[in-house]
């Protein structure tokens, strides 16, 4: 059961805003952060939005986690939002070909 705010370690929070599941990332999100997220979760979040406004860095594993955690939303026909992505994060999405999987909201 998803609580209104679920604090998870190492820079990832899962929240519900106006009925929408939002994954919030903070700071440097790398393989260690993703490992902590995976250890704390037993299933995917079904996030319809990802708030990156406080994220300063994402590595390849973090990007894969974003795609995985928003897959359920895409299966229902929604395009997950990326809220506040930095120029670096937007560029990483473009380079890897993942940009079309998300709608960027600046």
What does 38-70 look like in DSSP terms, one character per residue?
HHH-SS----SEEEEEEEEEE-HHHHHHHHHHH
Strands 5-8 vs 81-83: parallel, antiparallel or unpaired = unpaired
Kindly compute the dihedral angle of the four CA atoms of residues 82, 15, 8, 100, in this order, to the nearest 10 degrees.
-20
Residue 89 or 24, more confident: 24
Structure tokens that stand for 44 in this block:
């995917």
The pTM (predicted TM-score) of the whole model is 0.83
pLDDT at 38 over 50: yes
Fold of the 11-104 domain: Transcription Regulator spoIIAA (3.30.750)
Sorted by where each begins, the domain ranges of the chain are: 11-104
Averaged pLDDT score across all residues of the chain: 86
**Mind listing the pLDDT tens digit for each residue in 52-103?**
998 888 999 999 999 999 999 999 999 999 999 988 888 888 999 999 999 9
């Amino acid at each position: 059961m998803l609580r209104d705010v679920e604090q998870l370690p190492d820079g990832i929070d899962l929240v519900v805003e106006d009925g929408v599941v939002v994954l919030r990332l903070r700071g440097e999100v790398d393989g260690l952060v993703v490992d902590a997220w995976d250890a704390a979760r037993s299933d995917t979040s079904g996030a319809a939005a990802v708030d990156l406004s406080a994220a300063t860095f994402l590595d390849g594993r973090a990007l894969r986690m974003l795609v995985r955690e928003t897959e359920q939303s895409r299966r229902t026909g929604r395009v997950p939002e990326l809220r506040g992505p930095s120029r670096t994060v937007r560029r990483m999405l473009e380079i890897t070909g993942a940009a079309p999987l998300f709608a960027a909201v600046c």
